[in-house]
Amino acid sequence: MSGTLTITRTFPAPPDAVFAAWTTPEHFAVWFGTDAVEVPLETLAMDVRPGGTWSAVMHLPEDGPQIHWEGEFVEVDSPQRLVMTMTDQPGTDPGAPITVDLLAVDGGTEMIFTQVAEGFSEDQLAQLGKGWRGFFDTMERLVTT
């Protein structure tokens, strides 16, 4: 089983603001995980260049577990494209990278987010999409303030 999750969303902000949300630790910490999850800035490291790495620790609510994330930047073409890997199992193969394409459109930026989800069922893909859409709701508030 494998699938591809594609989310297209238009943000009422310029491409450089949306790109910065993905690549600036202070911004990434705000939206990654939604408002219900904390990603302390001191746990976030980003070396935004091809071959550079990133890592973050996500604290789930109500004394929930911590999720340790890591990945690598594969392609960085500011402000129109970002390709990066991510895994919540540090030290393992992160699988296919996620791709974020940003296009200037009337009224803002169209973001096309693509993630190949190898081994995911249709239900798991739906849950993955729901999670990312929640992240992007928080990102929208960030880039429009």
- Mean of the per-residue pLDDT values for the chain? 93
What proportion of the chain, given as a percentage, has pLDDT over 90?
80
Identify the band that residue 2 occupies on the pLDDT scale cut at 50, 70 and 90. low
73 pLDDT above the threshold of 90:
yes
Question: What are the pLDDT digits (tens) for 82-104?
Answer: 999 999 999 998 889 999 999 99
Domain ranges of the chain: 2-143
Is CATH 3.90.400.10 what the domain over 2-143 is classified as, yes or no? Answer: no
Q: Helices 15-23 & 122-143, crossing angle to 10 degrees?
A: 110
Question: What are the pLDDT digits (tens) for 6-60?
Answer: 999 999 999 999 999 999 999 999 999 777 889 999 999 999 999 999 999 999 8
